[in-house]
Amino acid sequence: MNGVAAIILLLYLVVVVVESKFSLKNAFNGFRRGKEQGEDKDDGSTTDEGTRKTPPTLCMLMLARDEALNIENHLPLYGPDFFDCYVLAVDSKTTDNTIESVRKIMPESIPGYVYEFEYEGLGRARKTCLEHAWREFPWASHVIFIDPDWKPVGETLNKQDLDNSTNYFFTVKDRNGKTSRSLDWLVIHEEGIRMKYNWHEQWVFPKDSLNSIAKNKILGWTFEERDDYYNWHEGEHDNSFSYERYIFELGELERDWHETVEGGGAGGEDTGDAHRLLYYMGFAHLACLEAAIKGRTKEGAVVDNEKKTYHLEKGIEYLKMRAEDKYVKWNYEGGEIPRWMYGVAPSEEMTQATLQYLGIVHWVYKKDALAADKWYTKCMEFNEDYFRCFMNRSELYTDLEKFDDAWNWGLEAVHRSERVPKGGRSSITHGHDKECKLPLHLLKVSLKLDTAKQPEVLDAMRILMASGVEHCPIDSEEEGTLVQVKARIDGAGTGVGKVEEKVEEKVEEKVEEKAVGGWEGLGLSEKSTTAVERMSVKEKRLLWTTLGGKEEGYKTDASSLDLDFFTRIVVTRQGLLGEDGEEEECFAGSIGKIIQRDWKKTNGKGEGEGIEVIRLYELHVKEKKPELGLGDEQPVQNVVRWREFLILLNSELKDLLGGGHIKLIG
């Protein structure tokens, strides 16, 4: 599947620091502009109706380490009047001019407070920053955490959007240029509010605070996360997407697990939300895996296969734990959840993403289509409006070359995507998938369909092209898809191309005619015959010739066969899986039986035409597909899925494989 990078990697970056001794005290001289200068600000009081009677005042909170360039290029874009005060926390390891950069940009009229931190975790850092903000600037009505590498889209920012709501969400466009996330880092300024967790922080509100009851408001405010300038990840971990960065993140999450879930609370304050940490630890392992596979390591370090396998299995293990019924089917019986209990309830969005990515990982990394389909089904059952799992199932069937099914599931995804509330959090976080990824995927599938037989597909292609998909960020492959779609549409409009479609239609009808009706004569069981009926014409043609169908013109050799094709048949046809019709989630058991049975048939010599066919094909695959890693030291188990298919059929067809009906080489 294309775009596994979409998997995972909405894990966001924040730069973190914790308070320490004021060893940079001299640098702060003349720089602290405190509450004395802010005494003329409004007190944040409200009318009896609860509407703020004075203009809102906003205090900027920022954690920074070696962020001078980001600050100099991004902070001026907010404008001189957007913030009314600020608190800057500076990591003690900072070596650049972060402090001077802020001093140079922030107007003298805006009070600020700067202090130094030693890193001990993000939650502690933000908690301390909030405490300083309340002590220094209690008159501010709202506080917002911003990151130095965020570039504000100025025309979207309007401070007058702030009212008596307590739960504000704004948009951060991820540095990959495609996806976005919705953050709630803006709240009413109160005493006692804080954040917890060392990584992927979470708000904690006192029970009697205004923020404890959520009154959601989606703001149009937009920020772009940028990698244009030096940041601390570049110095510490080489880049923001490196293996070392995700190892660091994983360590912080494991520390959270030990301090909260196992330890009963960091400093006695917090208990851990296991479901939340399982989710993030699972994704952190998968992020490590992806970075290792793509070679995103510091100074070109090589991550061995053992570590890659470890990250894959641990990622799946944690996500499967998160997918347990006690979290998926969790229900708060008392009605609406108070916001001070925010961390207790398992997030529906996290549940959906967990089920979705278990499907993705089982297909992309394990090539287990049955398991992938099972998890997509669970995801769709959990929330029938979550269009992304319908889209992923369509992508799965595309990889399996079941294009009619892929098209139908893709259309279903479009239908479900229309239910995403416009302007809500889902429209922010899922916007790229809905507006770009899904239509691009459907256009790719449409090229595999017979538009002469299905004119409605051509109509859909025109609609998809008119949806604005051409303005999406696309790669070279997607650009090629758009070119082909335009040619198909133009050809259909002028009559050019219809002749080719008619010829193709005749050929396919002929193949279908030859194949249908002869399967029982080949000795297939009723179960296998039923499975064959569900195959595409291409699958039937290849299967027919492989099993010895003798119609003239349909001879085959090894070069016309494809390992992936036989794998697809095995994993998608339940009628051909397992013994006694039992469906097996993995191949381990049946593979062992097949190899043992076949070995016994040849008296332990591994001889005979059936075995020789496998060996010859293995050599062919090794030559044509070196990326599969087939080595001379590896036995025929390297192609066990193809082997399993043939041997399972052999048990039904008896002597067909050894009777000269199949000639793959020579």
Residue that the structure tokens 């002590």 belong to: 135
pLDDT of residue 357: 94
Residues 464 and 442 sit within 8 Å (Cβ to Cβ): yes
Least trusted range by pLDDT, from 24-38, 84-98, 177-191: 24-38
Q: Give buried/exposed letters for 398-435 (b at 16+ CB in 10 A, else e).
A: bbbbbbebbbbbbbbbbebbeebeeeebbbbbbbbbbb
557 or 328, which is more confident: 328
Q: Is the pLDDT of residue 622 over 90?
A: no
- Residue 632 is classified by DSSP as T
Q: What residues does each domain of the chain span?
A: 25-42+53-236, 240-331+343-498, 502-653
Q: How far apart are CA 494 and CA 312, in angstroms?
A: 51
Q: Which residues pair with 86 in a beta bridge?
A: 60, 112
pLDDT digits (tens, 9 = 90+) for 216-251: 788 889 999 887 776 666 666 667 788 998 999 999
Query: What percentage of residues in the chain have a pLDDT greater than 70?
Result: 58
Q: Which residue in this structure is represented by tokens 């709202």?
A: 142
Structure token digits, residue 36: 């004395």
Mean pLDDT, residues 634-659 taken together:
39
**pLDDT at residue 469, rounded to an integer:** 81
Which residue matches tokens 């200068």?
A: 37
295: Cα within 13 Å, side-chain hemisphere = 2
For residue 226, the model assigns a pLDDT of 85
Most confident of 143-152, 219-228, 643-652: 143-152
Q: At residue 51, what is the residue type? A: T
What per-residue confidence (pLDDT) applies to 146? 92
Average pLDDT of the chain, as a whole number:
69
Which range has the worst mean pLDDT, 19-33, 492-506, 532-546, 602-616?
A: 19-33
Q: Residues for the chain: how many in total?
A: 666
Confidence label for 27 from pLDDT (cuts 50, 70 and 90):
very low
Q: Which fold has domain 240-331+343-498?
A: 1.25.40
Of 310-324, 328-342, 454-468, 648-662, least confident by mean pLDDT is 648-662
User: Span 149-168, mean pLDDT?
Assistant: 86
If one compares 484 and 337, the residue with the highest pLDDT of the two is 484
Q: Which residue has the tokens 């296969």?
A: 305
Reported pTM: 0.64
Higher pLDDT, 236 or 171: 171
Mean pLDDT lowest for which of 64-73, 388-397, 410-419, 537-546?
537-546
8-state DSSP, 112: E
As a whole number of Å, the end-to-end CA separation of the chain is 34
DSSP type of residue 236: H
H helix or E strand, kind and range, residue 566: helix 563-572
CA-to-CA distance for 411 and 413, rounded, in angstroms?
Answer: 5
Confidence of residue 471 (pLDDT cuts 50, 70, 90): confident
Pull the structure tokens for residue 495. Answer: 């009559």
pLDDT of residue 310: 94
Quote the CA–CA distance of 73 and 562 in Å, as a whole number. Answer: 53
Among 85, 114, 92, which Cα is nearest to 101's?
114
On the question of pLDDT at 142 being above 50, the answer is yes
Q: Per residue in 273-330, pLDDT tens?
A: 788 889 999 999 999 999 999 888 887 788 889 999 999 999 999 999 988 887 777 6
CATH topology of domain 25-42+53-236: Spore Coat Polysaccharide Biosynthesis Protein SpsA; Chain A (3.90.550)
Q: What's the CA gap between 135 and 155, in Å, rounded? A: 32
Contacts of 653 (CB under 8 A, 6+ apart): 522, 523, 524, 547
Percent of the chain with pLDDT over 90: 22
- The two beta strands, 112-117 and 85-91, are parallel
pLDDT at 206: 84
Q: How far apart are CA 440 and CA 427, in angstroms?
A: 18
Grade residue 566 by pLDDT with cuts at 50, 70 and 90. very low
**Which region, left, alpha or beta, applies to residue 265 given φ > 0 means left and ψ of -120 to 50 means alpha?**
left
Q: What is the DSSP string of 496-544?
A: TTHHHHHHHHHHHHHHHHHHTT-TGGGT--HHHHHHHHTS-HHHHHHHH
Strand partners, 85: 59
Cα distances (angstroms) measured from residue 581 to each of 162, 470, 526, 623: 62, 47, 11, 35
Within 10 angstroms of residue 319's Cβ, the number of other Cβ atoms is 24
Question: What per-residue confidence (pLDDT) applies to 270?
Answer: 56
**Torsion sign (Cα): 199, 202, 206, 209:** positive
Which residue's structure tokens are 């110095």? 235
Rounded-to-integer distance, Cα 577 and Cα 531, Å: 10
**Top mean-pLDDT range of 48-57, 124-133, 293-302, 342-351:** 124-133
Residue with tokens 């041997």, as numbered in its chain: 647
> 56 CB contacts (<8 Å, ≥6 apart)?
141, 142, 159, 160, 162, 163
pLDDT-derived band at 486, boundaries 50, 70, 90? confident
